[in-house]
Amino acid sequence: MKIGENTYKLILLDTNALREIITNTNLSREGFFCKFFKGETLYAPCFSIYNVIELMPYKDIYEQFLNFFSKIPCLMIYPAKAIIQEEYNQYINRNTLQITNKIANAFTPFINNRVYNFKNFFEDMKCNIKLMQTIQSEVAQLSSVARTWECQRLETNQLLNNMKLPSNIIDEKFYKMRERETIIKDLKNWGIMPQKTIDITALHSLRVMEYSQFNRIYMTNKKVFPNDVMDIRISCIIPYMDAVITERFQANIYKKARKLIPKLNQLEIYTLKDIRMGER
């Protein structure tokens, strides 16, 4: 993607990666610069508007966030609903989703324009009361969503037990059989009434998000936390990124997803270990 005069690869930072880089935990800030800013290839870090709203109440961390990202080209990704809606609109018009100002905002310190100024943008955003309330409400609901996913797992396990079926019957093959039905159902949940002849293989964003959710609920017994829900919603932009830094479990999901979603084949997948200089 071109930002200012340079072309950058886009690298998505999940919640944990963003927090470690901001606070320099495990010397991750130095590790991030060494790996992604000192080679021939330039990378522009990307983060979600969800992350910004989540950080705002923590003044010290939020100030570090503003200071760090105001010095480098970066992108803020809009909420999942905007991405899913725009991808569907492009599909209907037989086009492919592009990273534009409909789903993201680019920042750079090299252009003297308030729209591209990191700190000014977020000062203006804080004054947009309606937007702030909408995103804050979504973030506040993450705990409830996490509990709902936990209940779904429990209810499914109880149902299988009552039917004397093994729990491993819910597997990759099962998901593939149900994927189309799941995608159509969730399009409706996001306020989109899909065409009857819809080709779900063109809806990369929703496919990645749904596959991530399936793995988080049914392919592990790990407790689901609000940050897991946030990272899964943020993951819908992954098909349009060049790289990602995430925790190991989610990294493995993206690797597995390549068999189902070919658009992920060129995605560079990194974990926190790749930027943690303090652990070496």
Same-domain pairing of 121 and 156: no
Does 131 lie in the same domain as 147?
no
**Opening angle at CA 27, ends 39 and 77, nearest 5:** 65
Residues in the chain: 280
Cβ atoms within 10 Å of 68's Cβ, excluding its own: 19
| 257 belongs to a structural domain | yes
Do 153 and 123 fall into the same domain?
A: no
Say if residue 193 is in the same domain as residue 247. Answer: no
Model confidence at 111: pLDDT above 70: no
Shared-domain flag, residues 135 and 147? no
Q: Is 136 inside any structural domain?
A: yes
Domain count, the chain: 2
**262 lies in some domain:** yes
Full residue range of the structural domain in which residue 180 is found = 143-218
Q: Could you tell me the pLDDT band of residue 176, with boundaries at 50, 70 and 90?
A: very high
Contact 216, 228 (CB under 8 A): yes
Domain-ending residue, one of 218, 253, 271: 218
For 42, 57, 67, 78, 114, the CA distances from 63, given in Å and listed in that order, are 25, 10, 6, 21, 19
3-state helix, strand, coil in the chain (%, to 5): 60, 10, 30
Are 129 and 247 found together in one domain?
yes
Q: 149 vs 120, which has greater pLDDT?
A: 149
Per-residue pLDDT at 214: 95
pTM attached to this predicted model: 0.91
